[in-house]
Amino acid sequence: MKPDDLIRAAYDLFAPYTIGRTLEVCKCCVSDAEERELVQTPLRAVSRDLLQRAYYESARGYSAQELWEMKHFLPRVLELVSGFEFPCHSTEITFTRLDLHQPTGWTAPERALLDAFALAFFEQCLGRYPLPGDEPLSNLLLMFGLGRFDLAPLLRAWAAADSRASTLHFTDFLLHEAIFAANQRVRLRNAFSEPFVNEAVAAWLHDETVQDGFAQRLESCLLSNPALDEATVRDLSGAHDLLRALT
């Protein structure tokens, strides 16, 4: 399914999570006027700015009611994310409020829909280069990782994607978004990253099959595109050299 199909399904699935006239938000972070504006605005019309000001700016309480309200807004959050309108100050922390590492808070259908959206959206991004606002693909990977989504399907999709766009994303990742330790173990350069995300990415990148696949794509991109500009050729070649140094 495409992201748009899953967003429509999310509006149906999460429809029972209704809200009243007030929200469980920090009154020091969100004004009464902002809270009132948010609860009175039809869900599908809530803007990125309003959701950030009246909800995401609030300090968390980690209560059951807070999770209920998150599920109410979740379909709109997915819709905004699919349009690269992330409703918080940093893309990477968009889904941290879901607490998906606490499975008792989510039904099987809810979790299945979220996993399907993550994969569908990520696959869509793999076929698009550059992304809107020059958003690094690794920021989106980190967004799902910090949100406690399973990164394995996303990483498998990246390894399987045979397109110029996905290869250019991989080139950017190696050259600008990853740090290689003295032992060549990789971690994300992004300051938001956590060890469990770094370990998942490192295990994937150090897989011989993954390395061979990307090496072939980098070579193919260089050989089959004679009109590439000098900077792109330099980047593709540099990424290929870095990748081979990992083996």
Q: What is the pLDDT of residue 247?
A: 65
CB-based contact 84:131 (threshold 8 Å): yes
CB-based contact 129:168 (threshold 8 Å): yes
Q: What is the pLDDT of residue 104?
A: 94
CA atoms within 13 A on the CB side of 195: 0
Q: Quickly count: other Cβ atoms within 10 Å of residue 121's Cβ.
A: 21
The size of the chain, in residues, is 247
Q: What is the pLDDT of residue 103?
A: 87
Q: What is the pLDDT of residue 184?
A: 61
Task: Compute the Cα dihedral for 211, 213, 216, 219 and give only its sign.
Answer: negative
Q: Quickly count: other Cβ atoms within 10 Å of residue 84's Cβ.
A: 14
CA separation for the pair 74, 43 (Å, rounded):
10
Q: What is the pLDDT of residue 226?
A: 85
Tens digit of each residue's pLDDT (9 = 90 or more) over 202-247: 999 999 999 999 999 999 999 988 889 999 999 999 999 999 988 6
How far CA 22 is from CA of 39, 49, 126, in Å, comes to 7, 19, 40
139 — pLDDT class (breaks 50, 70, 90): very high
Q: What is the pLDDT of residue 246?
A: 85
The DSSP code sequence of 128-195 is -SSPGGG--HHHHHHHHHHTT---HHHHHHHHH--SHHHHHHHHHIIIIIEEE-TT--EEE--TT--H
CB-based contact 170:158 (threshold 8 Å): yes
Tens digit of each residue's pLDDT (9 = 90 or more) over 13-44: 999 999 999 999 999 999 999 999 999 999 99
Tens digit of each residue's pLDDT (9 = 90 or more) over 171-207: 999 999 999 887 667 899 999 999 999 999 999 999 9
CA separation for the pair 136, 173 (Å, rounded):
8
CA atoms within 13 A on the CB side of 205: 25
Average pLDDT value for residue range 128-154: 98
pTM, whole model, 2 decimals?
0.96
Q: β-pairing, 178-180 with 186-188?
A: antiparallel
CB-based contact 191:179 (threshold 8 Å): no
CA separation for the pair 69, 200 (Å, rounded):
31
Contacts of 87 (CB under 8 A, 6+ apart): 48, 51, 52, 55, 56, 77, 80, 94
CB-based contact 45:77 (threshold 8 Å): no
